[in-house]
Structure 1
């Protein structure tokens, strides 16, 4: 079942960004990940605007694959640099429908 890693990042020191941006997608791909977006173009339609610089969405073949990416030894120094130079949240979410009424999604 597909799973999606959602990253919300507020950059506080951009020294890490160039290396991270250049290398991370290849590490994600190693685990079957495919970036769907990595964007700073965030428009708030409802609710409070997030205090964030960018949001990334990466599709993985499973939640296990997403976790394997996050725990990859090659990714570890990039993650540490990101954590030192930003505030953020990473979530893994599957493609289920909690209400079970959308016919093309698995029931959650």
Structure 2
């Protein structure tokens, strides 16, 4: 089951950005992660505009793979730098349909 890491990041000190942008996608790839987007082009269609500099969307093969990426010792200094130089919210969703009415998505359990 594919899962998607969604990161809303508001950069407060951009010193960490160049090294993070250069290296972290390789660390994610080591765990099966593939960036689908890492963009600052955020268009609000409804509701409040997010207070984010960028939003990243990364597909992983499983929740375990995302956790392995997040806990990878190679990622640790980059994650710490991001945390120190931004306000970030990261969350993971799977590829299921809660209502179970979209035929090409698995129905969510529970």
Task: Identify the TM-score tier after normalising by the shorter chain.
Answer: over 0.9
Q: Which runs of 5+ in 2 are unaligned?
A: none
Q: Give the RMSD, CA atoms, in angstroms.
A: 0.4
Query: SS where residue 89 of structure 1 aligns?
Result: strand
Report runs of 4+ in structure 1 exceeding 3 Å deviation. Answer: none
CA distance in 1, matches of 2:86, 2:57: 17
Residues paired across the two proteins, number: 108
Corresponding residue number in structure 2 for 1:18: 18
Q: Which runs of 5+ in 1 are unaligned?
A: none
Q: Please list, as runs of the form range in 1=range in 2, the aligned pairs for 1:69-88 lying within 5 A after superposition.
A: 69-88=69-88
Q: Normalising by structure 2, what TM-score?
A: 0.97
- 1:82 to partner: Cα distance: 0.4
Q: Please list, as runs of the form range in 1=range in 2, the aligned pairs for 1:1-108 lying within 5 A after superposition.
A: 1-108=1-108
